[in-house]
Amino acid sequence: MVQVPVLAIHGGAGTINREALSAEAEREYRGALQSILEKGRDALTAGASALDAVTLAVSMLEDCPLFNAGRGAVYTSAETHEMDAAIMDGSTLRTGALSCVHGVKNPIRAARVVMEQSPHVLMTSDGAMAFLREHGVEFMPDAYFDTEHRLAQLHQAQARQPGAAVLDHDGAAAASKLSFAGNPLDEKTKMGTVGLDSRGNLAAATSTGGMTNKLPGRVGDTPIVGAGCYADDGVAVSCTGSGEYFIRLVVGHDVAARVRYQGASLEDAVRAVLARVGELGGTGGLIAVDKMGHVTLPFISEGMYRGCVRGAEAPLVAIYGQEEGC
């Protein structure tokens, strides 16, 4: 049976900060999400695998400085960039993940190299980067990742809360009042996508620069398989939010387990898991797709960059809560 392919993406969830967003900036965000979905849709309808489609979508998010991954990654307390990424093939349970890497142009493509070219699931820091160089992964100079608005976020966060790590748009909201009016959300940001291809295979991919002013060496939920990113033959999940809470609750796997073992619908499973995140004090959201092509993009915050596309249809994108279609 041929399955209608599906692709969903997210770029962070959090508290609406509408006054920090100009009409031009909103068009830019929505346009970026739509362009990524269109490219992913075209790949899937041409017969690409779910794994290839999610790789493409997240690499495009990483290339866009609007988003906290790859080129737009936030700064650590030491004014450096440390990035995490993970990718998972639901049809085989093969997984590749990276933490605390720097200089890697597209961490999601590098995570796939770990999956396909090493015997490991998760690699980190200098050893990971040496391995990636040996396998021809593209690196960029530090200046490629330096952006003025991210540096403003860092300095403002350090002035307000010395020594405290700040979830991406907690810093962006304050910095926007000084120098950058480009972020509509006070968001907890990872970039991620989930996909279902025409053969019924699922995949998930997630990438992030982490938290503004985080201590060097901090690792969030993104590269921890089953926490921020997970896919099996029934469900694919990519998370965004308060990483420490998503790790404690193993959110991605919990969603898949509720569907598999309880027979829960995809919607009921994700709502129940996010409710637990909220009970612990966390915020954020996730995107998920199941083997039947059902898609859900819920969040326990005021908004989430998000979008989805089914078959050859036009993509749907949204930023704020209660937008039709997403």
Query: What pLDDT digit, counting tens, does each position of 250-267 carry?
Result: 999 999 999 999 999 999
What single string gives the DSSP state of each residue in 113-146? HHHHHSS-SEEEHHHHHHHHHHTT--B--GGGG-
Burial readout 126-153 (b: 16 or more C-beta within 10 A, e: otherwise): eebbebbeeeebeeeeeeebebebbbbb
Is the pLDDT at 38 greater than 60? The verdict is yes
In the chain, what percentage of residues exceed pLDDT 90? 74
Confidence of residue 16 (pLDDT cuts 50, 70, 90): low
Is the pLDDT at 66 greater than 60? The verdict is yes
Confidence of residue 182 (pLDDT cuts 50, 70, 90): low
In the chain, what percentage of residues exceed pLDDT 70? 88
Contacts 24+ apart (CB under 8 A), 166-172: 166/211, 166/212, 166/213, 167/14, 167/211, 167/212, 167/242, 168/12, 168/68, 168/74, 168/209, 168/211, 168/212, 169/12, 169/14, 169/15, 169/17, 170/14, 170/212, 171/74, 171/212, 171/213, 172/17, 172/20
pLDDT at 158 (0 to 100): 86
| Tokens matching residue 183 | 């972020």
Is the pLDDT at 189 greater than 80? The verdict is no
| Listed residue (180, 168, 157, 177) closest to 284, CA to CA | 168
pLDDT at 56 (0 to 100): 98
Q: How far apart are CA 282 and CA 321, in angstroms?
A: 18
Contact 112, 96 (CB under 8 A): yes
β-strand 122-124 against 6-16: which pairing, if any? unpaired
**Of the ranges 15-24, 187-196, 237-246, the best mean pLDDT one:** 237-246
pLDDT at 306 (0 to 100): 95
Residue 193 a catalytic site member: yes
Q: What's the gap between Cα 198 and its chain centre?
A: 23
pLDDT at 323 (0 to 100): 83
Per the residue annotation, which of 55, 147, 189, 193 is the catalytic one? 193
Higher pLDDT, 186 or 151: 151
pLDDT at 302 (0 to 100): 81
For 146, phi then psi, to 5°, come to -80, 125
Is the pLDDT at 172 greater than 60? The verdict is no
Confidence of residue 233 (pLDDT cuts 50, 70, 90): very high
Least confident range from 63-72, 171-180, 187-196: namely: 171-180
Number of neighbours of residue 178 by Cβ within 10 angstroms: 12
List Cα–Cα distances, 134 to 110, 114, 130, 139, 142, in angstroms.
Answer: 12, 12, 6, 12, 20
Is the pLDDT at 179 greater than 50? The verdict is no
Say how many residues make up the chain. Answer: 326
Query: What pLDDT digit, counting tens, does each position of 107-142 carry?
Result: 999 999 999 999 999 999 999 999 999 999 999 999
Q: How far apart are CA 223 and CA 205, in angstroms?
A: 10
pLDDT at 79 (0 to 100): 93
Q: What is the mean pLDDT of the chain?
A: 90
pLDDT at 301 (0 to 100): 86
